[in-house]
Amino acid sequence: MEKSRYIVIEGPIGVGKTSLVNLLIEEFGGRTILEDVEGNPFLSGFYRDRDRYAFQTQLFFLLSRYRQQSEINQQELFSQTTISDYLFAKDRIFAGITLEENELILYDQVYQLLDARVPEPDLVIYLQAEPEVLMERIRRRGKGYEKSISQAYLTDIIHAYNDFFFHFSETPLLVINTSQIDFVKRGGDFSDLVKAIKRMKKGTQYFSPMGTGE
């Protein structure tokens, strides 16, 4: 990995994006860009009644993420490492799951205007995990508004993410199935990941720690 880069960590709810961002910042230095999930006033309502609150929730996230991304200019990207726990395009992934057809048409008009203005990362790290693993991780972190998340909803999100990244070619992509990996508790897993990041060049690669024997 070059000294100054813009790295994005992506993946479904509960997969460990923010934890990995914090570890990488400790390793490489630089600054973080973390999505403001807690600041969305519609999110708790969305988990209670998706049909009623989906559009407001999605639009708030879209504009909030755009504001964060628009604060990144090219000079800042060259001057320091920046690591984020979301890709701007994730907003469209969720919109495709949660919005009705007419809502999605309106949403897409706004999204397309904003998407062209956000900076492109140098590397995207896509974290995967099985639905059962994600449910357990969500349960352990104990966020009240997430208690109503169903495994069926998580499965829909996983399928949408997999489809998106199957066709993804805009930047180098490192795919990691985290179901049997713990970057926080197993230092060897993280050390292997740092080496993989430094080796990344073009295309899509798949990460497996040396200790897994795979």
pLDDT tens digits, one per residue of 13-24: 999 999 999 999
Please state the pTM of the whole predicted model.
0.90
Catalytic (active site) residue 85? yes
pLDDT digit string (tens) for 155-203?
A: 999 999 999 999 999 999 999 999 888 898 887 889 999 999 998 888 9
| 111 residue type, one letter | Y
DSSP structural state of residue 48: H
The CB density around residue 203, as the number of other CB atoms within 10 Å, is 9
- Report the run of H or E that residue 73 belongs to, with start and end: none
Residue 5 has pLDDT above 50, yes or no: yes
What residue has token string 């990344």? Answer: 200
Q: Which residues of 58-81 are buried (b: 16+ CB within 10 A; e: fewer)?
A: bbbbbebbbebbeebeeeebeeeb
Active-site residue, selected from the candidate residues 36, 51, 85, 192: 85
Full set of structural domains in the chain with CATH: 6-212 (3.40.50.300)
List helix spans (H) across the chain.
17-28, 43-48, 50-70, 74-79, 90-98, 101-115, 131-141, 151-166, 187-199
Residue 214 has pLDDT above 60, yes or no: no
Residue 211 has pLDDT above 70, yes or no: no
Residue 95 has pLDDT above 80, yes or no: yes
**Where does the pLDDT of residue 76 fall: very low under 50, low under 70, confident under 90, or very high at 90 and above?**
low
83: which strand partners? 7, 32
The CB density around residue 48, as the number of other CB atoms within 10 Å, is 11
Residue 4 has pLDDT above 70, yes or no: no
